[in-house]
Structure 1
Amino acid sequence: MVIVYDHPLSPYGQKVKIALLEKGIDFQAVMPDAIGSGNTVGEFSAASPRGEVPALVDGDVTVFDSTIILEYIEDRWPDPSLLPTDPAQRARMRMLEDVMDTHFEAINWGLSEITNFRRATGELADTMMANAADQTHRWFAWLEQELGDATWFNGEHFGWGDLSVVPYVNGSVGFDLAPEKSSRLGQWLERANQRESVQQCNQAAAAVAFDSPAVSLEQVHQALEAGLFKREYRDHRLEWMVKSGGLSIVEQGLAKNNIRFIEPFAVDTEDS
């Protein structure tokens, strides 16, 4: 049985699960203990030395990083293919994924830092949320241009490009930032959310966020303030925070020791 270490709210994890579901591959989704704290250990830590979800375990094979996992899935189970046949279009799907994983993801992540983890309040929060809304709508315009008149980002069939976009746009909707329903992007989103693979991910996310959260956001906030829970500020997220007005948030997080960056991977020296 394929194992996917995952958190239902992770758009990176949703990408992987949608791909497996579209290909009809059985898998077990496992939420690691202490996910997001920076203190992950055990089998998950071995599979994902960055302490991030998703990570995939297929027998003796372990793969981390959602993009590399998607590539592994496509190589391991090539039918049905999730990529177009044309090399240029295949490259376009991968570029689309990269934009969503970096520039777009950072906006939703930043909004969560403000609204869920209360990193900013008052005028600073208002300014940063306004910046996020402006950025989101500008990316919506770009996505609509990329979609054009096609049914799917992949073309005639749902695929790599679509599963790379839908978790992030749904994330924006959760912050009351949605594409116009009558727009091409809005109509695409409605179609994508009707797919069984996407519905399963949406239901799993809703179950964690609304139906039966194991830990309340207030408890997480308290742990954050105490430095027991550390949010990851790597790469695109740090860039977003600084350019959107949150440099003071980074400084405060460093002072409180409740943000983290990737450390060198641990090495087992027992047999060396």
Structure 2
Amino acid sequence: MTARLLSRAAPAAVALLVLGGWEALVRFEDLPAYILPAPSRIAATLWTDRAILAVSLLVTLKTTFAALVTAAAASLLLAVLFRQSRWIERSLYPYAVILQVTPIVAIAPLILIYVEDPFAVMLVCATIVAFFPILANTMLGLRAVDPGLEDLFRLQGAGRWRTLWLLHLPSALPYFLAGLRIAGGLALIGAVVAEFVSSTTAGGATGLAWRIIEAGQRLNVPRMFAALALIAGAGIAIFAALTALSQFVLRRWHDSARQGQGGN
């Protein structure tokens, strides 16, 4: 219990120290809000502009979760397909790598040319960013099965799909969930980047990225910081939710979840 309290108190203490130093610096130097707003001013902006920022947050989260679900489903299906056929993996996997290493800011303008709907543009961009970590981790899990267990299934007369369902997929589940935790933050990043590109090029976006652009044009720096704080908070909340999901799914049978519970 003491270790758990200390592990939670340490980050809170660092945050209070940083915010306190930030507040003191702004007040001591008498910095105007359009240069560097104090944390208290940002908190006040979060409250006064809560209606506008809440709507924008919902738009960004809608894109993020839609992209995460799409990337998870596509990655799982493709990883299973790769597991069943080495030739399909050799034929398609390099293109997945190409999508991963190509910056999304370079792909997004091309997507804008061929996709008219702004939400579809953001969904495609965010899905591309979140896709590869889930695919790579799931493939690793599908191939990390104990060969002795595979031999046992063959001796019992289990077919390819039955072995996949009862052995490979359960073995790959911890890897899939690990990739999902990584992809959660990446989906948020992809959604924000796509909002920046679509807002400045196509218009019509109302996510948090658009609020940052709008606030910058009006020199409303406290609102810019408030939107950034919401993006950071959303990323933390997504990671925490996916971590809790992983612990819930794996806690009864996987060592990583039990060790994580003991170390918290």
TM-score clears 0.5: no
Q: Which has the higher contact order (CA 8 A, sep 6+)?
A: 2
Q: Which has the larger radius of gyration?
A: 2
Instruction: Using structure 1 for the length normalisation, give the TM-score.
Output: 0.24
Which structure's residues are more often strand, by fraction? Answer: 1
